[in-house]
């Protein structure tokens, strides 16, 4: 039985990620918070939202 080398590409993640303006980490949308008290609104992650609250 021959084992073929798999050259299949892994399925691309369909998740949308945003980059936190504070820590620079790319995170999923549901981990992001938009700080609408800034203009333009700042998109930051949940952790940084705590820090800036």
In the complex, the residues that contact Zn ion under the rule CB under 5 A are: 20, 22-23, 45, 48
Nearer to Zn ion, 22 or 42 (CB): 22
Nearest distance, CB of residue 39 and Zn ion, angstroms: 19
Residue 17, SS3 per DSSP: strand
Phi/psi at 26 (5° precision): -85, 125
Nearer to Zn ion, 6 or 27 (CB): 27
Nearest distance, CB of residue 47 and Zn ion, angstroms: 5
């Amino acid at each position: 039985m021959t084992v073929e080398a798999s050259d299949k590409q892994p399925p691309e993640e369909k998740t949308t990620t945003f980059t936190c303006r504070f820590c620079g980490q790319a995170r999923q949308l549901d981990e992001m918070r938009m700080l609408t008290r800034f203009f333009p609104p700042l998109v930051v992650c949940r952790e940084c939202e705590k820090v800036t609250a």
